[in-house]
Chain A
Amino acid sequence: MKGGRITQHPVLTFDRESRVIFHFEGKPIEAYAKETVAAALYANGLRTFSRSMKYHRPRGFFCAIGRCSACMMTVDNVPNVRTCMVNVKEGMRVTRQSGFPNADHDLLSVMDKLGFYFSLASGFYHRKLIRPAFLRQTYLKILTKFVGLGSLPAKESTSKADNSKLSMETDVVIIGGGPAGLTAALEAGKRCPNVVLIDDKRMLGGQLVKQTHRFFGDARHYAGVRGIRIAETLTKQIRELRNVTTFLDSDVFGIYDRHIVAAAQENRLLKIHGKKIIIATGAYERTLVFENNDLPGVYAAGGVQTLMNTYGIKPGTKALVVGSGNVGLILSYQLLQAGVSVVAIVEALPRIGGYLVHAAKVRRQGVEILTSHTVIKALGRGKVQSAIMAKIDNSFSPIPGTERKVDCDLICIAVGLTPTYEHASQAGAQLQFVPELGGFVARRTKFMEVADGVYVAGDVSGIEEATTAMLEGQIVGLHAALTLGYGLPSDEEKLETWIKQLNDERSGPFGEKIRRGLEHVMLPEDMRIGVKATVP
């Protein structure tokens, strides 16, 4: 079985021990046991994963981490399953749920052409499709079918819901098992008797698991080591700590009363009361507005990395990368390593955003980096076949006459990230919009405390590098333990050393933006959090 899979990779080896067969719309599909349904379908050539609700435009694999909902399908009679989050199982039955007669050939896509005739403004169905009252249920039924949200399974055809609940008390709860969450869990776990780590994926490591490149940073903190190896090392250390309970595949849906973390793990409800809560939920990928940016083939940089570095699936053959920050540059290099050619990297700013050494790696492979350029349109029937890019002026508007068409089947969007502030906000943190940190972030003390006993660490506190995220994790893990009364000798000094190291990392020209951003959200040293404080 080869399909769209990468057979040889200079850095990675893929776990392809056991094979399974599942059924997709009646056809048997061969896959490897550790692949997600979405990844296996992609490897088998599927590009249209669903249709959009109103205009029935094709939607493809986009984010690969359970955020974008473009890959929702009906799996074993359960509708709206994010197929990028579930692994394949022998005999599983998967069908797409939107489109008529099916998602590949959708007659309802005529809406895309006719939409403007009907002036289908957002929410028109709430205003128009409610009268007469006796027809409301009928409208609702038709609309549900039309938008393609699947149908509820017959009672007897699904497995009985497991109504079990798990309630527990613990010293520290860490939400998110990426670089910041793992180091926080390690430091807290070395000191506190009871620590809980929750993550919504099936493996720990967060975004580290797809970072095949070696990291910059302080050599005492994994510099020169590949991200995937850091994930392996940290995960192993966590597993060795028997007082750290890990819940994988668990979605935290709320933090109540500041200290109760509620999560859903398959059919089970987890209710975890933590004396301290550490939020390390990372960030979302931003998208970019251009014509046809929803066409299958336009994917988030992280989604492409998941596909090729976690599952070893070739995302395409010719890629256009949008954004020359470190993510865009590294992604381009990884695409080349996976045997995908990169037609160009476009950057809206007049200069390269990321480190020049990263840029040099792709330049010497012959990849063009076009500054002051952007993509203005994706073209193709049902999937990306080419793109139009153009030079832009100082106000970021395309300059007429500079448009250029390039052939590509992949457009990777690497235009930055924005923090996932929701949990922090619910836990009582005060948010502020700080563009330098990527969006809404919580005001915090020097120890990253954002509300009484609630901490943030990593990208959720401001978009930065994995190396700083790991340091922040260490700081909050240690501070949480210390304030609970669990300390080891010389911990106070350790805390100060780490804070100093973090400031050192940010002291160079690349840390300038972060330093400026932090000035807006750092609370004065003498202010205690928790007491309702009015911030100047």
Chain B
Amino acid sequence: MVECIEEIPCNSCAIACKLGAIQMATVNDIPKVDYDKCTGCMACVMVCPGLAVFLLRATNGVGYVTLPYEFLPIPKVGTQVRTVDREGTVLGKGRVARVLPPERNDGTALVTIEVPEDWLFEARAIKVEGS
């Protein structure tokens, strides 16, 4: 899910995608994702300067949201974190399912949280205890 709604001169996601799943006619174009080609490799999530790309997945009623995270502390897999929406309002707890550590991506960690399926389009950030 690319939440990039303005015509910003930027094409980092389209160039990062090795599968040609993100199409942009010009550098100012809004990215269009071809979900048939997308394998969920997260190359675009890692590179987006707007931190505007999220990976959403639903299996058996459980939603998984992968989001970029640039704060401290880095959550541990299996722990509970507070999940917040686009306005910073706490939705509830979510379980950390996967973490790409920040040192693997120049400071931007990728965190996958397990949330109820109906939060898939709401959960956009996390708050970790101690931050």
Show the binding face of A for B, using Cβ within 8 Å: 8-12, 212-220, 223-224, 226, 229, 336-337, 355-358, 360-361, 363-367, 465, 467, 504-511
Contact = CB atoms under 8 A, between A and B. Distances in A.
A504 B5 CA distance: 19
Given A356-B5, A357-B3, A364 B125 contact: yes
A216 B8 contact: yes
Nearest to B43: A224
Contacts of A336: 71
A506 B72 contact: no
A364 B86 contact: yes
Interface string B100-131: 00100011100000000000000011000000
Contacts, number: 126
B102 A217 contact: no
Interface residues of B, number: 37
Interface in B1-38: 3-12, 14-16, 26-28
B86 A337 contact: no
Contact of A355 (B8, B71, B89, B106): B8
B6 A357 contact: yes
3 closest Cβ pairs, A-B complex: A366-B88, A357-B50, A508-B28
Q: Specify the main secondary structure of chain B where it touches its partner.
A: loop
Contact of B15 (A213, A216, A220): A220
B40 interface: no
A337 B86 CA distance: 18
Contact of B71 (A12, A337, A360): A337
Contacts of A356: 5-6
Contact of B70 (A11, A367, A508): A11
Contacts of B106: 11, 226, 229
B84 interface: yes
Contacts of B15: 219-220, 223
A223 B125 contact: no
B124 to A, nearest CB: 5
Given A216-B8, A511-B9, 5 more contacts: A219-B14, A357-B6, A367-B88, A465-B9, A509-B6
A360 B86 contact: yes
A224 B11 CA distance: 9
B6 A355 contact: yes
Given A219-B15, A220-B15, A223-B49, A506 B9 contact: yes
